[in-house]
Amino acid sequence: MKISTGEKAFYFTNNIVLFLISLTCLLPLLYIVATSLSSGAAIEAGKVYLWPVDFTPAAYQVLIVSTNLFKYVMNSIVVTGAGTALSMIFTILCAYPLSKRKLFARKKITFFVVFTMLFSGGLIPTYLLVKSLGLMNSYWSIWLTTLISPFNMLVMKSFFENISEELDEAARIDGCSEFRILLQMYLPLSKAVLATLCLFYGVTYWNSFLKVLMFINDSKGYTLPVLIQQMVFQINQINVDNNTELRAIPGASSVISESVKSAGVVILIIPMLIVYPFLQKYFVKGVTLGSVKG
């Protein structure tokens, strides 16, 4: 099919606009990376833009030594890994029965789920509930309050509704139970939406900040985003002279707080940048297939 001149002009304009929009996302990231790898003198002189000046990895070394970074990274991995697994399990267990048209009060239950997307108790009632349950200073306070996203559950429910009912009936004739139908038929056919929702939940848990501050009182349980927040507001200067380990780092004396903060931000976003390319092929397909029916 031949493309008209008007369509060519539209596609060209559309590509230009999308390219400019992508730059607004990419340029700040490049600046943060460049700042984290540049010398303090170059940063203070305003020479750093999109490429490191006087390249040095000292900021990352100072960050690791001065903040016990690996402890916070491990905390984030625990919160993200266990939280994503729990959320996926309960989202599937909620979406599967609601996708069955024969379920009693199905529409009313779905209405209450949608209602929570518009109205919620708020921070104070949530805090009082978590405190009354004795979950303070425990990761269960984060996992349980983020357990099921109504939006993600509705996407999963819509996806299950698109699966042919004939497959379901054939499995029942063969004597399959509900759990066997779910595990051996529905989930293998739902890899796209499962990968997409894993990404959604993973990003949510990895970036958990406010709930960690609200419910975790012991600084040993803080996650990486909380560490970055503390660095932004508390680190004003790097005191190398009073720290033997910092003095042993080449170039540590020229590191400034701005480069250390940037290094923390880079470390925070690296895991998501690594995971996303592996799930990208499922991303659009999963959301699209899961939203055909409402």
Claim: this prediction has a pTM higher than 0.85: no
- The residue-averaged pLDDT of 16-43 equals 87
Domain count, the chain: 1
Residue 275 has pLDDT above 50, yes or no: yes
Q: What is the CATH number of the domain that holds 200?
A: 1.10.3720.10
- Determine the pLDDT at residue 17: 92
- The residue-averaged pLDDT of 101-124 equals 86
| 118-to-111, 141, 147 alpha-carbon distances in Å | 11, 22, 17
Is residue 291 a part of any domain in this protein? no
- Determine the pLDDT at residue 248: 60
Residue 90 has pLDDT above 90, yes or no: yes
Quote the distance between the C-alpha of residue 41 and its chain's center.
Answer: 34
Is residue 125 a part of any domain in this protein? yes
Residue count of the chain: 294
Is residue 259 a part of any domain in this protein? no
- Up-side HSE of residue 265: CA atoms within 13 Å toward CB? 18
Is residue 276 a part of any domain in this protein? no
- The residue-averaged pLDDT of 170-198 equals 85
